[in-house]
Structure 1
Amino acid sequence: MVAGLITNVVFGFVRSSVLMAAVHANSGFGGYDRGTIGAYTWLSQGLLGAIAFWTLPDIVERIRTGDVAIDFLRPIDVQFAHLAEYLGRATCTLLPRSVPSVAIGALTFGLALPNSAGPYVLGVISLALAIALSFLSMFAVCLSGFWLVETRGLRALHMICGTFLAGLFAPVHLFPGWLQTIAYATPFPAMLQWPVDVISGRTAGLAAAGLVAVQCFWLAVLTALGRLLLRAGRRKLEVQGG
């Protein structure tokens, strides 16, 4: 946790310096000013430990070894069991990693954050949905192991495209129109950009509620996709001894 916090802070300093220089050079920088770009940078850095772009679910190895056959025999739902485990793990990273890194950002660069409780309440809901979406997306990619010998290539592609389209390297609001259209057609902005927008107050009121509603839509889509892949994988699975 300490190593993760230090990494968050170091990269937070780098990203903040670059983006604030861009804001200073261009006053129309995607509608951001010094305080709002600081909020975007440090909130997104703080959430990285809870978002599953780099975390590898245990099911990858269990599919490779065939141990997933045991999971299918247990009286639990495989998808929701892994999701529950990840939600607990992600929640445990928020206090030791996210809160201190955001506090350091506020002390060093200054953040423009809402003064009312509403955005934070809705932001907590949006954050929980974002964590679940990030895991369900990676989980679905990992289930390709039922058909592929090696899934590292797909997982690397998911990480690269996902982090970019989620708005990690630059806010999605800065993308050109055609690239924004591509990003909004995927669930990735709902995993990082939108919870940051809701918590920071950049998107408020009915617009913020609309973002949460779209997150719920993607939650249903990714849950259904995972269940379909699990069902198909169960029929495909072959392990030694039958």
Structure 2
Amino acid sequence: MATFAGVFTNTVFGIILTYTYMALWHERPQLGEYDVAQALAFVWIGQSVHMTVMLMGGGFEDQLIERIRTGDIAIDLYRPADLQMWWLAAEVGRAAFHLLGRGLVPMLAGALLFDLALPASPGRWLAFLVALAFGVVVSFAIRYLVALAAFWLLDGSGVTRFASLVAMFFSGMMLPLNVFPGALGDVARVLPWSTMMQVPADVLLGRHQGADLLATYGFQAAWAVLLLAAGRLLQGVATRRVVVQGG
């Protein structure tokens, strides 16, 4: 039922945002170097994948924070499985479910209701899925770092909410990063959050092709490796703590 409700919500918000973007692009044609059809496609890409990359939080990090708070994390650390890879495996499965369960119907609804600049080439869709997979890993890596902060904080809800707001703004979910002015736009496009939605959307819209597409994958992979390594380092520091809250 939650999935059905989510599909309905994403579709409704997609329609609302579509008319907002239509009004904006009517006043500023080619804003962010998008035409109207590309801008509208961007809206529906966002509504289709934001749960896949979990931009609004509320995923595994809440469970991990609670296990740290209660001390149950000690049990997890004794298991014959790497803690970070355990949660990453679960996150990949969750992302795949949401891509199919909450992504397909909103995209189809948007394509039926509006003129979207969606590609007919299967290769472009495959390239998009690869970029989206990198975005899922980067999203996980950031949220894993956020969850580990619970080893030092009495309550992790504040930092998770703040992280969600940052992700929403700097991923392009609220507005394409291409329309951000000056230095703000330049900085936003090189931050890791851009790999979650802006980059996959631009790949699907054909803005990265050939050698540029490979460089884009390299950019995403670099952030994924860096953030996963940071998570591994912080995990090592955190699990050496003598006292775990609640346990």
The reply to whether TM is greater than 0.5 is yes
Deviation larger for 182-191 or 210-219: 182-191
Matched, 1:55 2:58: yes
Match of 1:72 among 77, 94, 105: 77
Structure 2 partner of 1:103: 108
Query: Structure 1 residues 142 and 239, CA, compared in 2 at 3 Å: closer, same or farther?
Result: closer
Give the drift of 1:52: 2.2
Q: Secondary structure at the match of 2:59?
A: coil
Deviation larger for 57-66 or 113-122: 113-122
Cα distance in structure 2, aligned partners of 1:207 and 1:237:
48
Cα distance in structure 2, aligned partners of 1:241 and 1:173:
46
Give the drift of 1:135: 1.5
The 8 Å contact of residues 17 and 43 in structure 2, kept in 1 or not, is answered as yes
Identity of aligned residues (%): 36
Match of 2:135 among 115, 130, 137: 130
Q: RMSD over aligned Cα, in angstroms?
A: 1.6
Q: Secondary structure at the match of 2:33?
A: coil
Give the drift of 1:31: 1.3
Structure 1 partner of 2:24: 22
Gap regions ≥5 residues in structure 1? none
Cα distance in structure 1, aligned partners of 2:103 and 2:116:
15
Aligned pairs for 1:219-234 within 5 A: 219-234=224-239
Structure 2 partner of 1:2: 4
The 8 Å contact of residues 88 and 140 in structure 2, kept in 1 or not, is answered as yes
Give the drift of 1:176: 0.8
Structure 1 partner of 2:13: 11
Give the drift of 1:108: 0.5
Gap regions ≥5 residues in structure 2? none
Cα distance in structure 1, aligned partners of 2:25 and 2:189:
24
Cα distance in structure 1, aligned partners of 2:163 and 2:201:
21
Structure 2 partner of 1:157: 162
Cα distance in structure 1, aligned partners of 2:132 and 2:179:
22
Give the drift of 1:205: 2.3
Structure 1 partner of 2:41: 39
Matched, 1:188 2:193: yes
Residue identity in the other structure for 2:153: L
Deviation larger for 196-205 or 9-18: 196-205
